[in-house]
Amino acid sequence: MPLVRSKIQSQAILLSIVPLAFLLVFLGVVVLLNVRATEMTTWTRHATAVLDQSDSILTAFSGTNQAAVDYTQHPSPKALKNFQSRSAAIRIQARRLVDMVDAPVQKRSAAQYSALTLRILDLLDQYMTDVRGGHTAAARALVARPSTRALGTSFQAAKANFDRSERQLTSSRFRGMRDQINLYGYILLALTFFGILLTLLTTGRFGLNIARRLRTLAHNAELLGAGQSTTPVSGDDEIAELDRIYHEMAQRIHDTLSAYRREHYIASTLQRALLPQELPKVSGLRIDTAYAAAAHAAEIGGDWYDVFKLDDTTVGISVGDVAGHGLRAAAIMGSVRQAIRIAARVRSDPGTVLDRVNRALCADEAGVIVTAFFATIDMRTGHTDFAVAGHPLPLVVHSGTEVEQLRGEGLILGVDPRAEYRSFGIELRAGEALIGFTDGLIEVRRDYFQGMDDLIAAVKTEYGAMSSENIAEQIKDRILANVEPVDDSAVLFVGITNLGVNGSPAKKTWTLDVRERGAAYRVRRAVLWDLSARVSAGSDLSGVELILGELLSNVAQHTPGQAEVGLEFHDGEARLLVRDHGKPFASEDGEMPDALSPNGRGLHLVRKLARSVEVHHNGGNSIAVVLPVNASGAA
């Protein structure tokens, strides 16, 4: 036995020396790779800075042009000083751009771009000189010259040529660096191969014998892991002893895993079966749900969500969690969820519902505690009553992306049959949402406060993402990304798309006051949620979001107060109508507005995205747009 130990120990030392030497060489190559990566980063930053400087010149022109317009309309020393300071700043930026580039070709492009910049500034200076001297006609003639417009076109072309040249230069550098990195990769591959070969040669005859026995041991381990029979390693050394231990461990693990998998499968199957298989389709609501089972059978619990109609105008929602884990927790979850439904249909007041469920739980399931949240939503007004029994209160998304947690209190169910539960109330408007969840979602990293911050951040992100087919699923995936859930968790997203409407009408209307902070964003969410449930797969909802955003921005610019957004469905088409009471705005068809003009781009974009656009001015502005979607007729 001592002789075997000595040979194994010697072999280990010998095998460790050779890889160590090659590891040092490997590290050297890695250092070279790191140097090249640093150079690539430096080039990227330089290219970004150059392109940002190029864009800043174009952006600064808009401010300078506006300053000239302001002086023309209201001459004053302050307006003149504003123009002069902006003009001087652009000249500095143009010279700085030339200094930032070093390649000869790029130097020439930068010089051309800078020269055209200065020529335009000279024209603006001449324009301001004419205006200051009272030569208004000469100033207008200067602007109307064909050469002036041609100069603007040349300026745009010079900028585009400069930007393209900078990107091509950066790409060329990256290609050269990629060739070097590929070369280092081949070197690493060759070193690895040579190191392996040399290591095998150093083992010798005795080493080969040990390796053969180790391969047999490893092969036996794979077979044992797959549940297959093996031939035990012969002998009485450490390898043979380890092989015998593997066989004993494999048998014990097999027995344990069989019980574990059986329990996990039964518990998770029961848990999912007891959750609602299909939630009701409620006109005026967007409902998304998600559920994630715990990674371990012992942690499968009793989390649930539920949505159900109480009558034609009222919807009940519940979220909760049964304390404990395993099959019993999952079974109790199903009975509590149904108990809430039954109690709510007798009397829908949330406090009363939890009173009755608590008394029933205390009487029938001694020692079981449950946290729960129950609410009713009046689809005519958006008024929502709710009660809570020790459960994390849902989040509410108000106008814009303002997220807050509901406030309320109530004792956990199953503790005291005499406990009384109070009903609280909030008002929800179209475009706002309620997000219920269980504690498995916020305690995934064992930090409640960090979990709440992560959840709020995920809600804000997904609330504004029109591309999400299931907002609740996306919220869950963001929280559980790269994390093995230690507890099951459920998420319920309820968004208000429209209020005061029953059934599935072909026409809906939303009103908003542009003076209210976040009103346009809230209404945009509501319209898009409603539309997403009514269009066929593959429809351009991102284009719709751009159209609606531009139209609502136009309303905010021209309307002093109230505005109206309508959505109609007819013959497979979705028609959007936006009305306001503001002053009429220019709506001519034509090419893209002048690059130096701040107005007209929004409506031009709408015309490009929509199937058709009609604009009327009658006591305000009315824009009718046929959206680029195919209506499926779903409510």
Dist. CA 456–CA 12, nearest whole Å:
53
Report pLDDT digits (tens) over 369-386: 999 999 999 999 999 999
List, by residue range, all CATH 3.60.40.10 domains of the chain. 275-496
Residue 10 has pLDDT above 60, yes or no: no
Mean pLDDT of the chain: 80
Report pLDDT digits (tens) over 429-463: 998 999 999 988 888 878 888 999 999 999 988 88
What is the pLDDT at residue 246? Answer: 67
What is the pLDDT at residue 48? Answer: 86
What is the pLDDT at residue 5? Answer: 47
Q: Which of 138-147, 176-185, 396-405 has the lowest mean pLDDT?
A: 176-185
Check if CATH label 3.30.565.10 holds for domain 507-626: yes
Report pLDDT digits (tens) over 31-53: 777 777 787 788 788 888 888 88
Segment 603-631 shows an average pLDDT of 84
The residue among 299, 304, 367 whose CA lies nearest residue 336 is 304
pTM of the prediction? 0.57
What is the pLDDT at residue 616? Answer: 84
Segment 394-413 shows an average pLDDT of 90
Dist. CA 550–CA 544, nearest whole Å:
10
Residue 115 has pLDDT above 60, yes or no: yes
Q: Which residue's structure tokens are 């019993």? A: 328
Residue 324 has pLDDT above 90, yes or no: no
Report pLDDT digits (tens) over 262-306: 555 555 555 555 566 678 888 889 999 998 877 654 456 688 999
List, by residue range, all CATH 1.20.120.30 domains of the chain. 2-189
Query: Going edge to edge, which strands form the sheet with 612-616?
Result: 507-513, 562-570, 573-580, 621-626, 612-616
List, by residue range, all CATH 3.30.565.10 domains of the chain. 507-626
Question: DSSP letters along 276-345, please?
Answer: -SS----TTEEEEEEEE--SSGGG--EEEEEEEESSSSEEEEEEEEESS-SHHHHHHHHHHHHHHHHHHH
- The CATH topology of domain 2-189 is Four Helix Bundle (Hemerythrin (Met), subunit A) (1.20.120)
- The CATH topology of domain 275-496 is Phosphatase 2c; domain 1 (3.60.40)
What is the pLDDT at residue 536? Answer: 76
Nearest-10 crossing angle of helices 541-558, 601-609:
150
What is the pLDDT at residue 137? Answer: 84
Report pLDDT digits (tens) over 519-569: 888 888 888 888 887 777 667 778 888 888 888 887 777 777 788 898 888
Q: Which of 13-27, 334-348, 520-534 has the lowest mean pLDDT?
A: 13-27
